[in-house]
Structure 1
Amino acid sequence: MTEQYAKWTVEGDKKTKWICGCFLTADDYFKFCKNHNDILKKAIQTQIDELDMTLVIED
């Protein structure tokens, strides 16, 4: 995988590249490879729950 992206750090802007099949799409969504999909999905769901970013909808 040769896709690269810029990463802002305290030291400045650094170029990095993915070491697997994960990537960032042009519309700022992440696409995860088969190896990382499940673990990153759980991490994102945990953060959403922790930040209370959802509403309970009662019918």
Structure 2
Amino acid sequence: MESASLADGVRNEIESFSGMHRIYLTGGGAEIIYSYIKEYFPRHKVSKVEEPQFALVKAMVRA
């Protein structure tokens, strides 16, 4: 299961930070891992940005 592997990798990265209360998911994988991350971090505000696969491109255009 590639999606489980991706979600586990993201979860491990998130866990390496302390003092967080919000998690914003961007990129093409956000759609795949959103529900997993939201379930795993129930005390955090987990958000998936609108059109996550284009978030970086949109930010670069605005800069």
Q: Tell me the TM-score normalised to structure 1 length.
A: 0.29
Structure of larger gyration radius: 1
Q: Which has the higher strand share?
A: 1
Q: Tell me the TM-score normalised to structure 2 length.
A: 0.28
